[in-house]
Chains A and B, each alone.
Chain A
Amino acid sequence: MSVLETQQRPVAEYGGPRVLNRPRRHPERWFAHLGLLLVSVGFVLPFAWMLSTSFKRLEDTAKFPPQWIPKPFMAENYAIVLNHPKMHFLMFTRNTLIIATLAVVGTTLSSSVVAYGFAKITFKGRGALFAVMLSTMMIPFPVIMVSMFVIFRWLGDVRFGEWQVFGQWLGTYKPLWVPAWFGSAFNIFLLRQFFMTIPDELSEAARIDGCSEFGIFWRIILPLARPALAVVALFTFLWAWNDFLGPLVYLQDQDQYTLSLGLQTFQSMHGGTEYHLLMAASVLVILPVIILFFMAQKTFIQGIATTGVKG
């Protein structure tokens, strides 16, 4: 059940005195309303200020006292951002989408194959391997980024005569998406938990009919696991969309920058004063995330709640 919707337990569930379950008109309730309202206003304020600034003229951004309703209303700021000769917004969006797509497809496929192995095949040493996998979730990226960088450099240096055996890695997108094709611990764990809840009777029936293990995985388990796959895909997309350190370490050419990196570079070079454009760009970066959230609200919340609590 989604956490976002208030869970109302049926009153009859508890056999005790009914009086306790009746909604009461306590002053506490009004305090709660007031508290939530104030907090919500606080949480919305940065969004509102960002939106408001993004529709202002440059000279209006510095008006005192602060002007909440932009006048004149500059919707063309967004067109300026999209075509800005120095911001390269569309190019950065394209780069980010390429990396995100490759990472999403790779993680979803590989993590589910591995998760199937952990969930549905009994073999010696599975428990130990699973423990190793879980422990790798504790290792943050900064711990391995230095030697990963060196490894990617070496991979590019492996030559057979003139031929770069593994191709060039540094300064390409490869370091950002290839690792995703080898499963990620967090997603394997999440999918394994889900696969465990699928009863074995289905797989047994298919096995008797002569279906191979991979066939069972591909034709029976995966279609049933769509909600969990959606969670994995969604989280991976968000991760790729937001990632800053990875692109900062591995990308060299500005033509390859992702949105996060590109926007930061623009801000540090020219953006310090043009806050109306920076805010419009920020709105554009946030917008897809918000749209995704509203399209897949349940998936989101369930994913966070299950991985959080049962982790």
Chain B
Amino acid sequence: MTKKDWQQLGKGLAFLSPWLVGFTVFTGLPIALSFWFSLCDYTLLQKPVYVGLENYRTLIWGKNSAGGYGDPWFWKSLWNTARFAAVFLPAAMVVSLGLAMLLNLKIKGQAFYRTIIFLPSLVPAVASAMVWLWIYNADYKQGLINAYLIKLGLDPVGFLALKEWAMYALVFMSLWGVGNTVIIYLAGLQDVPRELYEAAEIDGAGIWRRLWHVTIPMVSPVIFFNLIMGIIGSLQTFSTPYILTDGFGRPERSLYFFAMYLYDNAFQYLKMGHASAMSWIMLVIILIFTGIAFWTSSRWVHYQGK
């Protein structure tokens, strides 16, 4: 390296220094530390004691007192999280892409419609949980939805009180906040050249064929981006189910998510080792899904002109 190169390096690192320090102290170190803790018995009260893979064994495959394998709450919370992602992500994709296509039509009042659909995504988790708790309420005839069900002569439903309903109630209220995904799709749709639609129309393609052969391939990079972010987002779902259920994941733990059990292990039971093992499991799951998404992306993602 020449003297000039060294100078540039020095300058560059000087500008990067806040992030270099931040990355080391607030990202690199915590990840390394949590790997160490995940191999330790650590209760915050005494020093960590190395126990090898014991934490992973207890959580994932070790025989438990009920005769099953692994920690039942670990598996339950992982299963709940996967179920949420499996229901919410496809639903969100269909709803937001559909809304984005409606909002992309050249009709009057679009700016108004777009604002209305976007606004709920700005509502803080606490406020949206409060509103939906109130709307879903099943005590007496108070809840809005149940009141109208009764008016229609139907039986009221304990949306957040029955384990058969709670997950779908959460998915439904989460769809209310789908507005920022809609905006991302909308921006993607506006990048699709109109010539393509016109050519397809001349060739006699109807609405569905234009959707399937023009729109979806053209916005596939955006779908791809949203899919990765959606998986990562679902895995860390915490605030909304926590607030809806006071942190318990009621009813019958059907809203008990992976991140909630991680939190409880760390700050309720002070099992830092278990919690750290769960952190690493979460990290590995994220890496696997991101990897799969990137690997397979070349098959179905079309980057325009790249």
Which A residues are within 8 Å of any B CB, using their own CB? 3-9, 14, 16, 20, 23, 28-29, 32-33, 35-36, 39-40, 43-44, 46-47, 49-50, 53, 61-62, 64-66, 110, 113-114, 116-118, 121-126, 129, 132-133, 136, 138-151, 153, 179, 181-183, 188, 213, 217, 238, 241-242, 244-245, 248-249, 259-260, 263-264, 267-268, 271, 275, 278-279, 281-282, 285-286, 289-290, 293, 297, 301, 304-306, 308-309, 311
Contacts and interface: CB of A to CB of B under 8 A. Distances in A.
Interface residues of B, number: 107
Contacts, number: 294
A117 B27 contact: no
Given A123-B12, A148-B30, 19 more contacts: A5-B111, A6-B111, A14-B194, A16-B195, A36-B113, A39-B113, A40-B117, A46-B176, A124-B9, A143-B279, A144-B27, A147-B34, A147-B276, A149-B267, A181-B18, A242-B124, A289-B124, A290-B119, A309-B221
A44 B116 contact: yes
Contacts of A53: 134
A95 to B, nearest CB: 14
A6 B44 contact: no
A183 B20 CA distance: 9
A182 B122 contact: no
A149 B266 contact: yes
5 tightest A-B CB contacts, nearest first: A182-B22, A117-B15, A308-B184, A123-B12, A305-B187
B190 A7 contact: yes
A249 B267 contact: yes
B243 A144 contact: no
Contact of A143 (B23, B105, B225, B283): B283
B125 A9 contact: no
Contact of A129 (B16, B117, B123): B16
A114 B14 CA distance: 9
B306 to A, nearest CB: 12
A241 B239 CA distance: 13
Nearest to B101: A32
Interface string B1-43: 1000100110111111011011101110111011001000000
B16 A143 contact: no
Given A49-B134, A114-B15, A275-B134, A143 B282 contact: yes
Interface stretch (B57-65, B135-143, B160-168): B135-143
Given A40-B113, A147-B33, A282-B130, A308 B183 contact: yes
Interface stretch (B66-74, B82-90, B144-152, B208-216): B144-152
